[in-house]
Structure 1
Amino acid sequence: MDLPTCPACKQSVLDDDAVDCPFCGAPLKGGAAPARPAPAARGSAPAAPGKPAPAKPGAATGSKSSAGGSATGKSAATPAGPAEDDPFGVDPSIAANAIPVSPTPGAGKSIEVTCPMCETKGYVSPKAAGKMVKCCNPKCMVPLFSGPPLPKKEVVVKEQPKKKLPWLYIAGGVGFAVIAGVSIWFMQDQGISELPPSENVYVPGQGNSNGMNSGDEGTQTTQATTPQKTQPDANSARDDLTKQALSRILEVSSNIRQERKPMWRRLAITAYTFANEPQKAREQLNLLEKATNQSPYEGIPPLVAMAWRSAGNAGEMQKTVEEALALAEKLPPRGRFATEAALGLAPLLVLAGKADQAHALLAEHRSEAPLEQFAAAMRISIEDHSFNLDRPYIGRSVGYWQFPLETGVTLSLAAHGRWDEALGWANQLTDAVARTEARTAWAESLLHSSGANADAKVLERARSVGTDMNPAGQARLLARLAAVRAEQGDRAGAAQLLSEAGTILKSFPKSESIVVEGAKPLLDLKLPDANSLKQMALAAADVACVQARTGDRAAMEQVELALRLAGAIGPAINPTQERRRQVGDTAKIGAELKKALALKKDDEIRRAVTQYKLKLSEVEGAAANRFQIETVVLQAAANAGLHSQVWDVLERYDRKPAKEHQPLIATHLSYLVAQRFAEAGDAGRSDEIQQAVQSRVDPADPEIIKLVVEHLLATGDVARCVARLNGAVTPNGHLHETVLRLATRLAQSGKNVEAVTFSNSISDPTLKEECLYFTAVGAAIKGAGPAYWKAAKDVGLGPNESTAVGAGLVVGLNQTAAQ
């Protein structure tokens, strides 16, 4: 039938007796106008996200022209809803009413608008203000958006006498209010859509699809009543979840702030890549690489993922690497993202025969030591497909990596099975320590990947990289291989390797701690080669830790050896700091030097004071180096089960005279030892130690904070854990890895609600999105995608956070499917 149409807004009016338009309030004049499709949202609740709008019944078969009065004789089809298989489909009735945007300014079209999806600029007339408009880019994926509102003008309206409304209007108004309220209730659901039941979700490595953790409701019932799912069922569930996640990513795109749009595109490209939608990934990548974009280098991480996925096609891989390399030229020289992007691209450059460019790229984008450690840990967890930072890393058994970026490249290549290229990279490193560390990590990774059934040839190949190493490097290599064999159950093989390492340690020079008293001895002090002593100390500590874990009682002997080697690097830190405090009194130092050196002339005294200050700076560096190595050695020993012996060492050092006093007891080591006592069941000793050192430790020390937040998370106090981290995280990166490690711990243990809550509570926006992304990937890999998505929906994430979750789920599901 023909419905009245408002001459102002062109909307169809259902009430034949209406005098004014219920939509815009304009008076209805004249007869019925040709019927137009009503907007899908009018008169009914909207369809659930991701589902097509239901078709309206009763399609019209014909209509009469109000102008000419003759029948058309043609059937008018009911407006179709979105396509069933299009998660981003828009009801054609809405698109039909949208005002087209002109690509160029013209008569009456002077207001510039920018499409929030494709960023194409166009022009509309003032009449389009606040109304739905359509992008002028025919390739735009989401072309509909609202026009900019015009400034409101206050209009004084004379009060009209009230009129009694007919009961018909009152009833109609009530009905309209009810419908509008229901519609608003549905539309306010900004969280992620409900997922298919958990039994339909793809689970890696299993024929069935029941991948929910044992704590989820309905698991036992499903196991008892649901037959085993076939692979097509699992694939269908995975595809459905992927489609919904992609829909959510696109849905929130218009709410992303302009300065955050490049980050959104980076995640969208990554999601499209893993969802095998290369055309959509390329569209977003082209937008990211536009000349007007201020951060096109955001495309490097997804290009790195594309390159690894196309590793079977050498030509395609080479092309992708070249594109990423071109974007790398636009990276800022410093900054966390620059370091992470450079480390991601470097292994691909090695495979492409561009090792020199890989070296140059890493050298150009160095960061603070904690940020480099974090970048390497993240990259390795991405390349080995675990997305889990809560695990021991190869090469960090005693202290952190000494060359995290170079070792990170080695382990990234090894994670992809590129053993020859990884060893080639390690062998051509020019720094001897970097070369030894990278080769040792390569050998440990090779033996570890071979499993418990590794034959003698694998072990021999791993050992062969130490042929030209110095004794410290050889001892540490043997210790690491022994640790792997012990973990694989070959205790006899581990004991043999440890015996060989112990023989090498006996060849180390006898060393004693440096003690300096007086100005003249300090000037005469000749410091040894600190680097060689450091490597020997770390080797002895590595051997000690493996011995401790295998029950060898000689472990503490190697710890003491490591401490003696460290002590030979420089004097204790307390007397050195006291010397520094005296430097301000030049007259006093000059008098001491005059007497000690029998100086007579003022020029000689001034030169001696200058030499003294320079020498003191050198000695201070050696003292700090010694202190740091002793801390690393004792921390590793405490973590290996020698916490009781470590506490004895701390007390012994604290009792030494002023000239040898080393305040190790005032560091985080005391709290670490206390924590290990508590874990061993000795709560009394733990409390006693904490009370003894409480006034001497610095609560703002990042190492102390790490121990505190570990304890808070272990006791289930997520809120206080996050609050402590938010108050301590700084741009220098000291606690960044800790934040992501704790987040992934929650996800890996199946605590999806806690993982989402923890991640979403982090105040640093970049860290927050990384936590959500990594935990979503981890949950999807473990088959807990539905539980994670529901937890994210219940929290109510913002657009950036929703994008991180959606991209993480897509990557986790489809990465697993490809393996």
Structure 2
Amino acid sequence: MELRMCPSCQQSVLDDDVKECPFCGAAMDGSSGPTTPVKPAARKTEAIAAKTKPTAKAEEPVQKKDDDPFAVKPKAPRKVIKLQRKPTAKVNHRVVCPMCDTNGFGTEAVAGKEVKCPNPKCLMPIFTAPELEVVEPEEPKKPLITPVRIFSLVAVLVMAGIGIFFYINLPPAPTPDPGPGPIVNNGNNNIDQVDPEKNDPVNPDVPPTKPPIDVKAFEQTIFQSSIDSALQRSDNRSKPYCRQLNAEAYIANGDLANALEQLEAFDALEMGLNYFKITPLSNIGWAHLKKGDTAAANKSADEALTFSSKLPQKGAEAVRHAVALGSLLVALERYEDARTLLETREDVQDVAQSAARIAIVIESGTFALDESYDWLPKVRWTSPLSFATAYSAAIRGYSTQTAAFIKAVKDPMRKSECLAAYAAAQANLAIQSGVAFQTDQLPEIEGITTEDQNRALAQVLQSLKKDAASEKLSTQIATAMASWEIPPAAVIPPFRSIYDGDYQYGSIKHRAAAHAQLLLARYYALAGEKAKAWEHIEKSLNYTATMGPTQAAADALVKEVDQNRATIQSRLANELNIEEDIRKRTAFNRYRTNANSIATEAQNRIDLESQIYDVTLDWGLSDQYFQAFQADLKSPRTDNFQMIVENTLSTDLLYSLRQSANETAVKEFLAAWPSAADGKSRLESRMEINRLVDAGNIAQVRDLMKRIDLSLHDPLIELRYACRIAEQQNSEVTLDWIAGMNSIADQEVAYRFSGVKMTRRGEIDPFWNATLKRNLSATDKCSRNLGLIEGLNSTDVYKQKVEEPQSGKKKP
């Protein structure tokens, strides 16, 4: 296509209908010349100048904006602030993406500016951060004392003085006439008799009864709050978690249809967290199983299993979802699915131990976290998920299936711990039913040793009160233990064995024996038989001594490897007959790796032994502990005893001796260990905190907890206190404690557990009203609401009683 050309300036013109040239103004038909004169001479002069000066850069012709029809104003580059995924100490201002609801973090300076969502999959990542809420400064308070107020006060006093003067000078009032006499009962019993002392309407002898709560209306209010909170964008830690909690609440209330609607909302979020559906689907499976619909229960379990592939391997959420689904699979006799789900997520760390305990009290329906320490002492399990799953399935009444699951477990240690969980569940079921526990209730399982069997029976003792039956069982266990052989303590292996890795510490048999001895010691200690208790403590330590060398020996080995590399490498070269330098270095690295693994085993041993000595003080065995200390001074022991006293327990032991009023022991201990008087006892702080918690003095508890890190003693310590306070104190005190908790996750669990406990106490209305005054987050509200619904469906407190008319009285 050819373009029209201006006859004057020879420029190409795009528009076919234009009559004048847009460049020079000349008529396109040639009838008139250009309105803007053309200067060819200037161009020629510029060309000549350009030729005479080749080194100078020619200036580009500048065209006016008004004369250029193609001129488009370029957009200035935008400065977009990218938000961070996680908050830091300085970057902690939360900004929620309006597109994908992802939380991002920046400084407060990003308010009102364009920011970029940290989610790489966000469809519209650029948005403007909301402005900060401006808090208007309060108006300065006027002074209380002003001239006007002073004048008014003086005037009031003067007028009062005048009134009093005239009142005093009034003449005496005349004596009033006597009134009518008292009403005399003429024998007409139809007149209601009133006892002014018992039925005074102004000061009643008994407080008026609270009006009954409309449970159905209350439930609707709770569910509406849950739905609104799940849709809330600001101050919402996790929308998927809100949906999970809401689904669980509907299931607890028997409304599976609405529960499924909540689960369908996950798909709209598109956050890759569909494994949050596992627990609700497992609960739906339990609901079907309760009705006898095994096919529907299996269908729910299948759907939950499809999401388990995305379930993390570690973390509290992984534990709780795995236990919820695992116990359902056991009840459905799908043992291999349960075993595979659990074994890949077993962990001995505190997070798994704590999450497993929480899962146990949830799955059992008791929510009694603090009371769980009465029957499940704080001792670390090697397979906490399997233990919690076996207990949860057995406590629901599926004992036969649980026994079959234990037989399907392949790992001997895991099998032993599952048997202990089974035994604990049977003991608690017997107590709930008011019947005696029978030792023949434990199933015969291939691969279970006598140590495993007696460890399970010792676990049963923790649930039983001291009576003839429990004494008989303890004697039976002690008799069996008396025949066990005491193994030799572990030592550092020979030089060549370290290189070859030819060593093994702590057999499964010895670990079970150590735990069984410790459980029996606890039973005797709480029963007041402290000498027997310490005897079994010492026996337990004999078995823990097989789990690794002493800490001192392991430290010496590691120090030797670090300081004498050349000597060790040369010795390895001679023994292995190697000459190449690279092979020498490889041999040394292997030796060092094995030495470090030995040091790890030694650390695990001393950690376990420190925990054992720590709980002995809680069990009131300070005098026996001190006697062991005295014996160590006369004849030093070769184990970790002295190091444990020095590093962790000297102040606790001193406090225990003072509490037992053993002044002689206190003086002797301070003479041998004067530094113990300078430290702060964690045991003393725990005891003082327990006293303050029982008294509801939250402020002093917080002050004490700042001075000492009680989480080293128990990671669930704040959640335990929350449960205890909810059992003993009012709603305001409970909520004050929860608001000050450090862990957000534990805080949410506390709202749930306290909701259950307050509801079962009959305090649902004041608890609900108290929470409305608090600034609860969306997840906090959903957690609270789940607890309230679970409480309402597990108590008869709010059922209205129908009063029958008494004989001799007419029904109104």
User: Is TM > 0.5 for Structure 1 vs Structure 2?
Assistant: yes
Q: Distance in 1 between matches of 2:338 and 2:229?
A: 37
Residues 615-667 of structure 1 show CA distances to partners (whole Å, capped at 9, x for unaligned) of: 53353244224323322433343333322212443565588769756411145
Q: 450, 457, 461: which is aligned to 2:430?
A: 450
Q: Distance in 1 between matches of 2:281 and 2:696?
A: 39
Aligned runs of 1:193-212 on 2, under 5 Å? none
Q: 1:813 to 1:746 in 2, by over 3 A?
A: same
Q: 676, 684, 693: which is aligned to 2:676?
A: 693
Q: Distance in 1 between matches of 2:363 and 2:128?
A: 47
Give the drift of 1:726: 8.9
Aligned to 1:304: 282
Q: Distance in 1 between matches of 2:617 and 2:516?
A: 16
Q: Residue type of the partner of 1:505?
A: M
Contact in 2 for aligned 1:515/1:660 (Cα 8 Å): no
Q: Distance in 1 between matches of 2:557 and 2:496?
A: 13
Aligned to 1:433: 413
Aligned to 1:567: 545
Aligned runs of 1:2-151 on 2, under 5 Å? none
Aligned runs of 1:663-812 on 2, under 5 Å? 663-670=643-650, 672-673=652-653, 676=656, 692-693=675-676, 713=693, 718-719=698-699, 721=701, 736-812=715-791
Q: Distance in 1 between matches of 2:433 and 2:748?
A: 40
Does residue 531 (structure 1) correspond to residue 546 (structure 2)? The answer is no
Q: Secondary structure at the match of 1:816?
A: coil
Contact in 2 for aligned 1:750/1:784 (Cα 8 Å): no
Aligned to 2:521: 544
Aligned to 1:421: 401
Aligned to 2:40: none
Does residue 224 (structure 1) correspond to residue 206 (structure 2)? The answer is yes
Contact in 2 for aligned 1:479/1:543 (Cα 8 Å): yes
Q: Secondary structure at the match of 2:619?
A: helix
Q: Distance in 2 between matches of 1:344 and 1:281?
A: 17
Contact in 2 for aligned 1:436/1:469 (Cα 8 Å): yes
Q: Distance in 1 between matches of 2:100 and 2:372?
A: 43
Q: 1:254 to 1:454 in 2, by over 3 A?
A: closer
Does residue 261 (structure 1) correspond to residue 243 (structure 2)? The answer is no
Q: 1:280 to 1:520 in 2, by over 3 A?
A: closer
Q: Distance in 1 between matches of 2:241 and 2:509?
A: 44
Q: Distance in 2 between matches of 1:287 and 1:323?
A: 16
Aligned to 2:453: 474
Q: Distance in 1 between matches of 2:504 and 2:420?
A: 29
Aligned to 2:483: 507
| Stretch of structure 1 that moved more, 380-389 or 287-296 | 287-296
Contact in 1 for aligned 2:363/2:392 (Cα 8 Å): yes
Contact in 2 for aligned 1:270/1:811 (Cα 8 Å): no
Q: 1:512 to 1:751 in 2, by over 3 A?
A: farther
Aligned length: 597
Q: 1:222 to 1:115 in 2, by over 3 A?
A: farther
Q: Distance in 2 between matches of 1:753 and 1:639?
A: 31
Aligned runs of 1:130-529 on 2, under 5 Å? 224=206, 226=208, 236-257=213-234, 260-290=238-268, 292-310=270-288, 311-314=290-293, 315-366=295-346, 369-393=349-373, 396-397=376-377, 399-451=379-431, 459-465=438-444, 469-485=448-464, 487=465, 489-491=466-468, 493-514=469-490, 529=506
Give the drift of 1:345: 1.1
Structure 2: give runs of 5+ residues left out of the alignment.
Answer: 1-96, 102-126, 132-201, 800-812
Q: 1:661 to 1:734 in 2, by over 3 A?
A: closer
Give the drift of 1:777: 1.7
Superposition RMSD in Å: 4.8
Q: Secondary structure at the match of 1:451?
A: helix
Residues 681-724 of structure 1 show CA distances to partners (whole Å, capped at 9, x for unaligned) of: 7799899889743778999xxx9997896577467553465578
Q: Distance in 1 between matches of 2:526 and 2:681?
A: 31
Contact in 1 for aligned 2:244/2:276 (Cα 8 Å): yes
Give the drift of 1:390: 0.6
Residues 457-505 of structure 1 show CA distances to partners (whole Å, capped at 9, x for unaligned) of: x5043245478632322332333344444x1x532x3233222222222
Q: Distance in 1 between matches of 2:493 and 2:292?
A: 67
Q: Distance in 2 between matches of 1:579 and 1:394?
A: 41
Q: Secondary structure at the match of 1:628?
A: helix
Q: Distance in 2 between matches of 1:759 and 1:683?
A: 40
Q: Secondary structure at the match of 1:535?
A: helix
Q: Residue type of the partner of 2:751?
A: L
Give the drift of 1:506: 2.2
| Stretch of structure 1 that moved more, 248-257 or 420-429 | 248-257
Q: Distance in 2 between matches of 1:586 and 1:616?
A: 13
Q: Residue type of the partner of 1:779?
A: M
Q: Residue type of the partner of 2:303?
A: E
Q: 1:540 to 1:313 in 2, by over 3 A?
A: closer
Q: Secondary structure at the match of 2:372?
A: coil
Contact in 2 for aligned 1:272/1:280 (Cα 8 Å): yes
Q: Distance in 2 between matches of 1:425 and 1:600?
A: 51
| Stretch of structure 1 that moved more, 668-677 or 424-433 | 668-677
Contact in 1 for aligned 2:753/2:787 (Cα 8 Å): yes
Contact in 1 for aligned 2:497/2:503 (Cα 8 Å): no
Aligned to 2:535: 557
Q: 1:449 to 1:598 in 2, by over 3 A?
A: closer
Contact in 1 for aligned 2:756/2:788 (Cα 8 Å): yes
Q: Distance in 1 between matches of 2:243 and 2:648?
A: 42
Give the drift of 1:239: 2.6
Q: Secondary structure at the match of 1:762?
A: coil
Contact in 2 for aligned 1:726/1:762 (Cα 8 Å): no
Residues 287-317 of structure 1 show CA distances to partners (whole Å, capped at 9, x for unaligned) of: 1234734323323333333332332141443
Q: 1:623 to 1:642 in 2, by over 3 A?
A: same
Q: Residue type of the partner of 1:586?
A: N
Residues 210-251 of structure 1 show CA distances to partners (whole Å, capped at 9, x for unaligned) of: xxxxxxxxxx99993657x9xxx85x5333332332333344
Does residue 641 (structure 1) correspond to residue 620 (structure 2)? The answer is yes
| Stretch of structure 1 that moved more, 738-747 or 521-530 | 521-530
Aligned to 1:78: none
Q: Distance in 2 between matches of 1:573 and 1:435?
A: 30
Contact in 2 for aligned 1:440/1:477 (Cα 8 Å): yes
Give the drift of 1:405: 0.5
Q: Secondary structure at the match of 1:289?
A: helix
Structure 1: give runs of 5+ residues left out of the alignment.
Answer: 1-112, 118-147, 153-219
Between the aligned residues of both structures, percent identity stands at: 19
Residues 47-67 of structure 1 show CA distances to partners (whole Å, capped at 9, x for unaligned) of: xxxxxxxxxxxxxxxxxxxxx
Contact in 2 for aligned 1:389/1:741 (Cα 8 Å): yes
Q: Distance in 1 between matches of 2:704 and 2:428?
A: 36
Which structure has more relative contact order (CA 8 Å, sep 6+)? It is 1
Q: Residue type of the partner of 2:522?
A: C
Aligned to 2:560: 582
Q: 1:579 to 1:289 in 2, by over 3 A?
A: same
Q: Distance in 2 between matches of 1:647 and 1:727?
A: 27
Q: Distance in 1 between matches of 2:435 and 2:778?
A: 52
Q: 1:698 to 1:448 in 2, by over 3 A?
A: closer
Give the drift of 1:785: 1.4
